[in-house]
Structure 1
Amino acid sequence: MFAKSKRTAFFLVVAGLLVLQAAPAQAQQTRRATTTGTRKKSKAQLERERRATLKRIQETSRILEQTQKQKQASVGQLNALKEKLTVQQGVIRNISSELKYIESDVKQTESQVQQTQQSLEQLRAEYARMIYASSKTANSYNRIMFLFAAESFNQFMLRLRYIRQYSEVRKAQAAQISSTKQRLSQQLTGLTVKKQEKSSLLSDQLSEKRNLVTLKTQQDQVVTKLSQQEEGLRQELAARQQAVSRLDNLIAERVREEIARAARAAARAAAAKARAAAARANASSGAAPTRSPSTTSRAATAAAEAAEEAAVERVDKVTLTPETAVISSSFAENRGRLLWPVAKGFISQRFGRHAHPVLKNVIVENRGVDIQTSAGEPVRAIFEGKVLTVSSIAGMNNIVMIQHGEYFTVYAKLRTVSVTEGQQVDMRQQIGTVYTNAEGTSELQFQVWRNSSNLNPENWLGRK
């Protein structure tokens, strides 16, 4: 009877140990797989964004330094400070998001440590009970006597297996305790690393907030200085508006000319096709001409010219050939993914109507975007096309206009130009360099048109 109760107790102990071993480890593993997987991805994304933002800060800092070389405050300097402030605020937001993930990781790891410690205590207690039960059994009964007291050979083998399993479970329990202690040690080490990372991020956040305060102070100082130069700013604005008007007139004229040229070419091609068809019809019918060749030629020419003029008057968009239609379609398909015209820089003035950065109650209108960049920065074609115009306008310096089917891109405020009218250019091909004004501001005016319609370039450019 004692042997039977002993076996029953043994199997109950084994079952309990298996539950204790499997449940906590499996629960912790499942939790780690479900929570850490998504968190790692989000954290990695935050780290990539932080590196990209820090790169933007470095670029903006270099641009700001160039504008600060001049003693006098300028709108370009103010724009660079505003951009750096915006990016700096993004860095702080990014660090705050990283801190939230770190704090969540710390709490989760602390919870795992607590659970592992509890599991370890349970395993130790169960192991102690097993050792105690084993020692009691060893003192009360001799194992050999226990085996030979079996009533049959089958019972003998069962008792032998029982003794062996009991020993194996004790070994497994000891190994489980060792494994749990090792896991606990790793969790505690990980917790220390996470707390150090949190401390480092808090230090970075404090430093970036100090930088933000410094930038805001510099911005206020520049605004104050510029406010004292109101008359000069108004004169500068008037000169810019005149330059913008001249640029608008140039673009409109060149677009109209291209629309008319394409319409005439299409009309001439259609007239030639019609004359050829008529000649083939006459030749096949054997009909004698009713007019002299010269009279027929003059009449055909006059009719063709009239058709051309009529076509020009009716058409308000570029007539596409099969080749230019492909380029135009490809340009449209890349909306939102087009290359930036410069590799470095930021948008200092956006498209459309907006308030002047300093002058009160003054609204300025921008047909494109102004991109502030470094001195001498190369300007590149954002897409393949044909150079339609290379010109120069006071206040806008050199200008390059590229046609992409029925779309046009305009690059103004260039110091140098490296392409010629009629030249075919590829995407990324350098077309010139950015001009730097007397205040140290290097700025490109960039526009996008579809026929005679002005478009917002920000909707077409991809991420830099």
Structure 2
Amino acid sequence: MRGKSKVWLAATLAFLLLMMVSEMGWAQRSRARPGKSRTQLEREKRLALKRIKETSRILQQTQQRKEATIGQLNALKEKITVQKNVIQTISSELKYLDSDVRQTETQVQQTQQTLAQLRAEYARLIYTSSKTANSYNRIMFLFAAESFNQFVRRLQYVRQYSEVRKAQAAQITQTQTRLSQQLTGLTAKRQQKSSLLSTQLSENRNLLSIKTQQDQVVTQLSRQEQQLQEELTRRQQSVRRLDDLIAQRVREEIARAARAAANKAARSSAASGSTSRSPTATRRTEAAEEAAVERTDRVTLTPEAAILSSSFADHRGRLLWPVGRGFISQRFGKHPHPVLKHVVIENRGVDIQTNAGEAVRAVFDGKVLTVASVPGMNTIVMVQHGEYFTVYAKLRNVSVSEGQTVEARQQLGTVYTDAEGTSEVQFQLWRNSANLNPENWLGRK
């Protein structure tokens, strides 16, 4: 009997060890999964669905006209892009759920096997115990000992045997509880997977519907080739006017700052020297002033402006968006026209399509350098941040004036809505005379 007990104890310990190792292995594999976590995926999906709602509102404003417009096409393209992101995120979530379901199924199977083994062992214990169930058999077993030491060992054995039976019964109860929890969790995960599959199917139908709308808009716009060509010509003229204005203002600011620096240096030199300067000192001062006036490469920064410029540079990739809501409808650089074939358009900044009446705000602290009107670009505001300049074009009205100091998030004006119902602001970024890609500087919405 003692041999059987040892065998049973060894088998029980082996099963417990196997179960612990199995659960640890699954936990490690779960932690070792590459890619994004489910929490990140769910967050991205919520943000994408929010962007779809915003884009739908913007699209609805552009659809008030019967004729198709480039604004409608841009909104539909953005909606398709975000819709694809939603579907991709759902697919990633489904992969996680598939893995979780398979893992839970395996755990359930292992727990069922463990439970069956525990029940079988417990049944053998009950059968063995039944042979010495009455008090007479137990007493005979104890007093059949050949020595006192053997009597003590048999007494301990009887007590341990009873404790093992109780522990075995408790272990079976715990295993049954764990199995019930695992089965409940498995059912919930399968339901969640089914719901997510339904959502994915619905989002795929939405994507197909948006693509159909896009095809219809493209077809309508293709019939307006002459009108689109005329609009493109007017836009190119407006862009050139804006480029000329920006270049002029930057040159003027570079020259102004250089003259101010040269004058300050001259006054400092005069104050620290004698009242009558030598001819050599006079020539040096005049040469410095002439060089300052002729400087065209960069802005001469005061200590305060240098700090502001450095702080602006430190916010690369983290700048505020010039509007609170919207999407980039036309990116920086050269791109093919969305409808006209073999036509390439160039953008000095980014066009951000947004809601009608949306507030346009400063992306960083600075000073208003220019408020002007450019045909085709409506009203523009140019803000200086040391050697950096931000330009906000296509404003309906302006709430700041030249020379005014502004802070980040401060409203500069409101976006202009054109005759086609498209509300769009153009945002440009310059460092001295160099045009920069704003997308590399704006933070994530």
Q: Which residue of 2 aligns with 1:258?
A: 253
Please point out which of 392, 395, 400 is paired with 2:381: 400
Aligned counterparts, 1:113-152, within 5 A: 113-138=108-133, 142-152=137-147
CA root-mean-square deviation: 2.1
In the alignment, which residue of structure 1 is the partner of 2:414?
Answer: 433
Contact 1:85–1:212 (8 Å) recurs in 2: yes
Aligned residue runs from structure 1 range 42-441, under 5 A: 42-138=37-133, 142-279=137-274, 307-441=288-422
CA 1:41–1:241: 2 relative to 1, 3 Å: closer
- Distance between the aligned counterparts of 2:417 and 2:54, measured in 1? 16
**d(CA) in 2 for partners of 1:11, 1:223:** 81
User: Structure 1 residue 134: deviation in Å?
Assistant: 1.4
Cα offset for 1:393? 0.8
> Which of 17, 27, 30 is equivalent to 1:23?
17
1:62-109 CA-to-partner distances (Å, cap 9, x unmatched) read 000000011111000000000001111111111111111111111111
In 2, Cα distance between equivalents of 1:133 and 1:384: 86
| C-alpha displacement of 1:321 | 0.5
Q: Is the 8 A contact 2:323 2:360 kept in 1?
A: yes
Aligned to 2:436: 455
**Any stretches of 5+ residues in structure 2 without a counterpart?**
none
1:95-141: CA deviations, max 9, x gaps? 11111111111111111111111111111111111111112344797
Tell me if the contact between 2:366 and 2:405 (Cα under 8 Å) persists in the aligned partners.
Answer: yes
Change (3 A) 1:406 1:290: closer
User: In structure 1, what is the Cα distance between the partners aligned to 2:162 and 2:288?
Assistant: 106
- 8 Å CA contact 2:350–2:427 kept in 1: the answer is yes
Contact 2:258 2:295 in 1 (8 A): no
Tell me the TM-score normalized by structure 2. Answer: 0.95
Please say if residues 24 and 119 of structure 1, whose CA atoms lie closer than 8 Å, have aligned partners that are also in contact.
no
Shift of 1:304: 5.2
For the pair 1:33 / 2:14, whether they are aligned, the reply is no
- Measured against aligned partners, the alpha-carbon deviations of 1:47-75 in whole angstroms (never above 9, x if no partner) come to 11110110110110000000001111100
Cα contact 1:127–1:170 (8 A) shared by 2: yes
Q: Are the equivalent residues in 2 in contact too, given 1:416–1:433 (CA < 8 A)?
A: yes
Whether the aligned pair in 2 keeps the contact of 1:263 and 1:315 (CA below 8 Å) is no
* Shift, 1:274, TM fit: 1.5
Report the secondary structure of 2:345's partner residue.
strand
Read off the aligned partner of 1:113 and give its amino acid letter. Answer: V
CA contact (8 A) 2:238 2:376 kept: yes
Q: Distance in 1 between matches of 2:140 and 2:264?
A: 116
SS across alignment from 2:131: helix
Aligned mates of 1:328, 1:307 — CA distance in 2: 24
CA distance in 2, matches of 1:208, 1:433: 34
Q: Distance in 2 between matches of 1:429 and 1:345?
A: 18
Q: Relative to structure 2, which stretch is displaced further, 438-447 or 32-41?
A: 32-41
- 8 Å contact kept, 1:355–1:362: yes
Deviates more, 1:161-170 or 1:310-319: 310-319
1:13 aligns with 2:8: yes
**SS at 2:145 equivalent:** coil
d(CA) in 2 for partners of 1:250, 1:184:
74
Instruction: Give the aligned residue type for 1:333.
Output: D
The offset of 1:234, in angstroms, is 0.7
Distance 1:18 1:167 in 2: 18
Q: 8 Å contact 2:58–2:354 — kept in the other structure?
A: yes
- The ranges of structure 1 where at least 4 consecutive aligned residues each deviate by more than 6 angstroms after the TM superposition are 299-303
| Alpha-carbon distance in 2 for matches of 1:321, 1:139 | 103
User: Is 1:445 matched up with 2:411?
Assistant: no
What secondary structure is seen at the aligned counterpart in 2 of 1:261? Answer: helix
Q: What is the aligned-residue identity percentage?
A: 70
Indicate if the aligned counterparts of 1:344 and 1:373 stay in contact, CA closer than 8 A: yes
Tell which structure's C-alpha radius of gyration is larger: 1
Whichever residue aligns with residue 340 of structure 1, its letter is W
> Which moved further from structure 2: 156-165 or 136-145?
136-145
2: CA distance, partners of 1:301 / 1:268: 13
Q: Give secondary structure in 2 for the equivalent of 1:142.
A: helix
- Distance in 2 separating the partners of 1:310 and 1:18: 89
Q: Secondary structure at the match of 1:336?
A: coil
Give the Cα separation in 2 of the matches to 1:88 and 1:356.
Answer: 23
Extract unaligned runs of 5+ from structure 1: 1-5, 283-288
In 2, the alpha carbon distance for the partners of 1:404 and 1:302 equals: 34
Q: How many positions carry a matched residue from both structures? A: 444
**Contact persistence 2:142–2:154 (CA under 8 A):** yes
AA aligned to 2:65 is Q
Q: Using the TM superposition, give the Cα deviation of residue 220 of structure 1 relative to its aligned residue in structure 2, in angstroms.
A: 0.6
Q: CA deviation at 1:152?
A: 3.4
Query: Bigger shift: 25-34 or 250-259?
Result: 25-34
